[in-house]
């Protein structure tokens, strides 16, 4: 047998080619086995939504007062995102953009209690061609129904506390859905009504008001402390719901190959939370777990937006999200460890026109790069009004406090300048406005320009868009400034 170096040039070339093909085959096999998007056992997808919860108000995000053992454990088993942002600080536009992957103004659902444009598709439409079952249990706040074709498993919109425990979120039906067909992957949205007002669930006695630490952006009054006690109790109650869902996954032996994404939704119904584009309104807590693919105990500072969720789920399910017209982008590469960054700027929007006790017009837009938050108040000449300014015991108690901080907080909620800029590193509570200062001029100009570009891409005409908000709502508006407010008050909580 001749040594290799004596083989003919032709034979040597064939030999090298064969070796190369073998190596390539091995690489492809290894890549296939390590790539979750190509495997036969594509993951189940579970999205759990809290309701009206400020992102700082759980243990693993730094609030030692709040007891959230199941979410804290989830964070140790997965990834905790520190820079995730919602698209709108009210329920309906937030959820409709979350489920469509499109920002609120471009999808049509930008005021509260609104609907998307005809032809807009959502998560069920994108996952059905990929052979996924999709369902939702709990709160619904989308329209029209044809645009959000989830299988509805039950539950209610709102929780007046008069029902038996669990009826507002029948989790046993979620378990039935998970176990229905072991061969077909599923996507399930669990939409809790907690901790949305009325704060009537959980054990408030576990949170003695006089022992709570008041967050620095709020005015310390007895009414506030009572509210925090009830609010924290509902967070713990919601945490128990998370624990129940996770126990079902373990019981059904589906935990390893189920991607669990928990989101805090938007800020609470305390002042400077929900209905505002300050960080406590639009910043979200987000925890993701996928035991078979991602090691636990990680923290990510990548900048995410709620519009990124559906593209990510589509890619995890084996689809091509880049071809579907989303505003968001899949962060699967972030999950794989191929990058530690995602967006450079994300945006949020809010309108008060057409909501309960809302201003005639008060449009708000915000942009953040994760360090700086830029807020533009398009109707700064007007007063900001909503249910808090109308008749909220906590906010009204602030007016009785005789100190400068309380006076400034009350004034800052109602009257706002045209532009605001906050350094989230040194001022996460957005108390000190740094807009229109020489030291921050470059940062302000950059974020303002990015917002202009984004508004143009979204078809956002500013004042004209705000004035047209009610055209995106149903004709009957019992919650609006022109409706009968008593009808809203009789419902379970105010949106």
Instruction: Please list the alpha-helical segments (H only) found in 195-271.
Output: 222-251
**Residue range 12-30, pLDDT digits in tens:** 434 444 444 433 333 333 3
Helix (H) or strand (E) holding 444: helix 441-458
Tell me what pLDDT residue 116 has.
Answer: 97
Contact (CB, 8 A) for 135 and 151? yes
Percent of the chain scoring above 70 in pLDDT: 86
Tell me what pLDDT residue 453 has.
Answer: 98
Mean of pLDDT values over 256-279: 98
3-state DSSP call for residue 367? strand
What is the dihedral sign for C-alpha 122, 125, 130, 133? Answer: positive
Out of 8-12, 399-403, 430-434, 485-489, least confident range: 485-489
Higher pLDDT, 300 or 3: 300
Tell me what pLDDT residue 477 has.
Answer: 62
**Residue range 435-477, pLDDT digits in tens:** 999 999 999 999 999 999 999 999 999 999 999 999 999 876 6
**Residue range 367-425, pLDDT digits in tens:** 999 999 999 999 999 999 999 999 899 999 999 999 999 999 999 999 999 999 999 99
- Is the confidence at residue 39, as pLDDT, over 50? no
Peptide bond into 104 cis (omega under 30): no
- pLDDT tier at 37, thresholds 50, 70, 90: very low
Q: Residue holding tokens 């003695």?
A: 208
The Cα–Cα gap between 388 and 391 comes to 6
Question: What's this model's pTM, rounded to 2 decimal places?
Answer: 0.89
Tell me what pLDDT residue 273 has.
Answer: 98
User: Average pLDDT of the chain?
Assistant: 89
Contact (CB, 8 A) for 361 and 353? yes
Domains of the chain, by residue range, sit at 44-343, 349-489
Tell me whether strands 151-152 and 258-263 are parallel, antiparallel or unpaired: unpaired
- pLDDT tier at 246, thresholds 50, 70, 90: very high
Tell me what pLDDT residue 423 has.
Answer: 98
- Is the confidence at residue 309, as pLDDT, over 60? yes
Residues whose CB falls within 8 Å of the CB of residue 160, separated by 6 or more in sequence, listed in order: 198, 200, 491, 492, 493
Burial tier of 246 (Cβ tally within 10 Å: 0-12, 13-18, 19+)? buried
- Is the confidence at residue 82, as pLDDT, over 60? yes
The Cα–Cα gap between 464 and 483 comes to 22
Out of 33-37, 296-300, 344-348, 426-430, least confident range: 33-37
Looking at residue 321, the DSSP 8-state letter turns out to be G
Tell me what pLDDT residue 493 has.
Answer: 43
Mean of pLDDT values over 324-330: 97
CATH number of 44-343: 3.40.720.10
The Cα–Cα gap between 367 and 450 comes to 8
- pLDDT tier at 185, thresholds 50, 70, 90: very high
- pLDDT tier at 312, thresholds 50, 70, 90: very high
First to last CA, the chain: 85
Mean of pLDDT values over 356-375: 96
**For the stretch 320-345, what's the b/e string if a residue is b when 16 or more beta carbons lie within 10 angstroms of its beta carbon?**
ebeeeebbbbbbbebbeeeeeebbeb
């Amino acid at each position: 047998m001749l040594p290799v170096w004596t083989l003919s040039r032709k034979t040597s070339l064939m030999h090298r080619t064969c070796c190369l093909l073998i190596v390539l085959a091995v690489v492809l096999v290894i890549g296939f086995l390590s790539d979750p998007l190509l495997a036969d056992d594509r993951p189940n997808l579970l999205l759990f939504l809290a309701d009206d919860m400020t992102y700082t108000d759980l243990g693993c995000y730094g609030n030692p007062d709040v007891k959230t053992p199941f979410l804290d454990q989830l964070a140790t088993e997965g990834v905790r995102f520190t820079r995730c942002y919602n698209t709108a600080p009210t329920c309906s536009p937030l959820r409709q953009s979350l489920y469509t992957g499109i920002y609120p103004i471009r999808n049509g659902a930008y005021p509260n209690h609104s609907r998307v444009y005809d032809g807009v598709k959502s998560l069920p439409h994108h996952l059905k061609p990929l052979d996924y079952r999709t369902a939702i249990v709990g709160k619904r706040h989308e329209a029209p129904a044809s645009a959000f074709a989830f299988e509805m498993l039950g539950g209610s919109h709102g929780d007046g506390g008069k029902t038996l425990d669990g009826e507002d979120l029948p989790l046993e039906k979620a378990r039935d859905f998970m176990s229905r067909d072991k061969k077909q992957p599923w996507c399930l949205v669990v939409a809790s009504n907690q901790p949305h007002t009325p704060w009537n669930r959980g054990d408030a006695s576990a949170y003695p008001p006089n022992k709570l630490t008041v967050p620095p952006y709020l005015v310390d009054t007895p009414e506030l402390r009572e509210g925090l006690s009830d609010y924290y109790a509902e967070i713990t109650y919601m945490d128990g719901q998370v624990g129940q869902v996770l126990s079902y996954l373990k019981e059904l032996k589906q935990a390893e190959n189920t991607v669990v994404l928990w989101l805090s939704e938007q800020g609470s119904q305390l002042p400077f939370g929900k209905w505002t584009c300050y960080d406590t309104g639009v910043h979200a807590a987000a925890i993701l777990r996928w035991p078979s693919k991602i090691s636990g105990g990680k923290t990510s500072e990548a900048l995410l937006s709620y519009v990124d969720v559906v593209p990510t789920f589509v890619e995890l399910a084996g689809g091509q999200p880049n071809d579907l017209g989303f505003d968001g982008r899949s962060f699967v590469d972030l999950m794989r460890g191929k990058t530690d960054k995602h967006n450079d700027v994300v945006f949020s929007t809010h309108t008060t026109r057409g909501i309960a006790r809302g201003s005639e017009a008060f449009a708000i837009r915000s942009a953040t790069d994760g360090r700086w938050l830029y807020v533009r108040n398009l109707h700064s000449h007007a007063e900001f009004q909503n249910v808090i300014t109308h008749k909220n015991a906590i906010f009204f108690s602030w007016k009785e406090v005789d100190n400068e901080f309380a006076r400034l907080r009350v004034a800052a909620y109602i009257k706002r300048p045209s532009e605001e800029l906050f350094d989230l590193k040194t001022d996460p509570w957005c108390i000190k406005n740094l807009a229109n200062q020489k030291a921050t001029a470059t940062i302000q100009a950059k974020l303002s320009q990015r917002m202009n570009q984004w508004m143009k891409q979204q078809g956002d005409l500013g004042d004209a868009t705000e004035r047209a908000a009610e055209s995106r709502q149903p004709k009957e508006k019992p919650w609006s400034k022109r409706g009968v407010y008593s009808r809203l008050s009789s419902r379970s909580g105010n949106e």
